[in-house]
Structure 1
Amino acid sequence: MIGMAKACSGGGSLLNYIMNDRKGYELFRNNLCGLNPKEIIEEMNIIQDLSHRAKNKTLSLVLSPSFDDGHKLSNSELKEMTVEFMKDLGIDTENHQFLAFVHTEKLHKHIHIYCGRLNMDSGKLVSDHFIGKKAQWAAHRIASRRNLISAKQIMINKIKANQSEGFTIPKSTKDEIYNKHLKALERQYNSLEEYFLVMRTMGVEVQPSINKQGLIQGYRFVNVATKESFKASEVNRKINIKDIVGNPKIETNKKPKIKFRHGR
């Protein structure tokens, strides 16, 4: 299970994306009666305009069970988890305006929550300080209580396993990925595909960025457990994948002629 949260200005684009019947269905709502995004935003603006303290008065939240867990959970369980998630973030589910919408279009069931930050009873704003990290741990606690798969626990287990193999304790996901990259470099490769496979077995997917001309413009590292994605230079500027093997080529469906540009 993965939890995500951020404070934002909200608006029609985000709510139109969330309230899309082709993507899924509404789970439940609170203190809102609008039939479409425009009406809901107008309702929320009435309350949000009572506060002049913050620019970003909307919370965009996502609660995403693992693929396997998502298929087993009922709507009542999804609703209970959503309430637990919001309360863990300091949201009063009785006195805040919010709408929860389940997306199923990608066969990976997840919940989007569009929530106003202003408490209608106290007039206080929900704190957005480190709310992204709080959401990760909130999802972890919910998964632990319900015996569901937690992305945070998967990461913790991998860190412990890495320590037993001589890794240092990573300060961040980027450090964890870089440690695994260094571990992968302990062997030689005849092709980049071999390097990609070794990284994949350690829980990191390496994705080449290929343009229309077939040129590799760079690489991204994706933590399989948490879905966090970074450019190679964001992980560590010392990473230079093109030096792993000489003249690397990658097979694609269009079989483009691969060349490197600007050294990455």
Structure 2
Amino acid sequence: MIGLAKACSGGGGLANYVIDEEKGYELDRNLLCGDNPKEIMEEMKMIQDLNQRASNKTFSMVLSPDIKDGAKLSNKDLKEMTREYLNKLGIDPQKQQYIAFVHTEKQHKHIHIIANRVQPNGKLISDHHIGKKGQWAAHEIAKDRGLVSAKEKMIDNIKSIEQQKGNFKDLRGDIFKKHQSVMNTNPQGFKEYQSAMKGLGVKVESVINKQGKVQGHKLIDSITSKVFKASEIHRHLGLTAMMQPLAPLQAIVKVAKLASRDRDMGY
């Protein structure tokens, strides 16, 4: 679930966008009697005129459940969530003017809320960090109701990326071991080296620039199709001069010796 909230000047444009029966249906309202966007905003303006200092007198909010959650949530659920969301943002749903409208024109069902920021006594409801508060309010509501939270999805994505990085680290180590095993067979040229690596499931390709010159090499794991620059496998493998195609293998032998030295020194 995603929660968005901001203080704005409001006006007819916002009301016409939110309160549109072609996009969805009205879910809930409080202290408003108007039949159309113009009438509703005029009612809010009567209260807003009690405060002549502020320019942003309207709250515009969105509460957006995950697609799968939205498909199974009832109007009762959506209404309860809307009022809980307002409460968490310091907006009393029993004392403050607001209207909530569900948009269903897209697969992703979501709730738009317009609320008066000016209270009946003319004082403003704080909008301090209202955006962040909206995000956390949605996260808490989703967590309490066993729904998908945008923040939890973000955390899961980060964990997945970190896990993939760890897996790629293992894969790079495996490819380097294959490189070392091929070097131990003393290949007599770059093509022989390529062929041996291919037999171990690693395709080695030269990277050619626009001038037709070799500027590097890449190694491709046949199982995962993951592509690595040579320097990502080992820092010495990234030096073009050490792996020139069709050249004698002194350069590659030098790579192996340097790598062996680094290993012995604990790099």
Instruction: Tell me the TM-score normalized by structure 1.
Output: 0.60
| 1:24-75 CA distance string (max 9 Å, x none) | 0000100100111111111111100101231100000000001000010000
1:75 partnered with 2:75: yes
Superposition CA RMSD, Å? 1.9
Match of 1:47? 47
Which amino acid is the alignment partner of residue 103 of structure 1? H
Corresponding residue SS for 2:126 = coil
Q: CA deviation at 1:128?
A: 1.1
Question: Identity of paired residues, percent?
Answer: 61
* Map of 1:63 onto structure 2: 63
Q: Between Structure 1 and Structure 2, whose CA radius of gyration is higher?
A: 2
1:83 aligned counterpart, secondary structure: helix
- Partners in 2 of 1:71 and 1:159 — Cα distance? 27
The whole-number CA distance in structure 2 between the counterparts of 1:165 and 1:102 is 38
Amino acid across the alignment from 1:89: L
Give deviations 1:162-207, integer Å, cap 9, x for gaps: 455669xxxxxxxxxxxxxxxxxxxx99xxxxxxxxxxxxxxxxxx
Is 1:149 paired with 2:148? yes
Q: Please give the alpha-carbon distance, in whole angstroms, between the structure 1 residues aligned to 2:44 and 2:74.
A: 29
Where in structure 2 are there 5+ consecutive unaligned residues? 167-205, 208-267
- Structure 1: how far apart are the matches of 2:117 and 2:109? 25
Q: Distance in 2 between matches of 1:92 and 1:53?
A: 22
Residue 4 of structure 1 is matched in structure 2 by 4
Report the alpha carbon displacement of residue 124 of structure 1 after superposing the two structures with TM: 2.6
Residue 20 (structure 1) shift:
0.7
* TM superposition shift of 1:108: 1.3
Amino acid at match of 1:13: G
1:25 maps onto 2:22 in alignment:
no
Match of 2:157 in 1: 158
The aligned runs of 1:242-261 (5 Å cut-off) are: none
Per the TM alignment, residue 158 of structure 1 is displaced from its structure 2 partner at its CA by: 2.5
Unpaired runs of 5+ residues, structure 1, are: 168-187, 190-264
Bigger fraction of residues in helix: 2
**Count of residues paired in the alignment:** 168
Amino acid paired to 1:5: A
Q: 2-side partners of 1:46 and 1:102: how far apart?
A: 25
State the match for 2:134 in structure 1: 135
Distance 2:123 2:157 in 1: 40
Deviations 1:133-153 (Å, cap 9, x if unpaired)?
Answer: 111111000000000001111
SS of the residue 2:83 aligns to = helix
Structure-to-structure mapping, 1:214-253, within 5 angstroms: none
Q: Distance in 2 between matches of 1:150 and 1:127?
A: 25
Aligned residue type for 2:123: K
Report the residue type matching 1:128 in the other structure: D
Contact 1:92 1:119 in 2 (8 A): no
What letter is aligned with 1:9? S
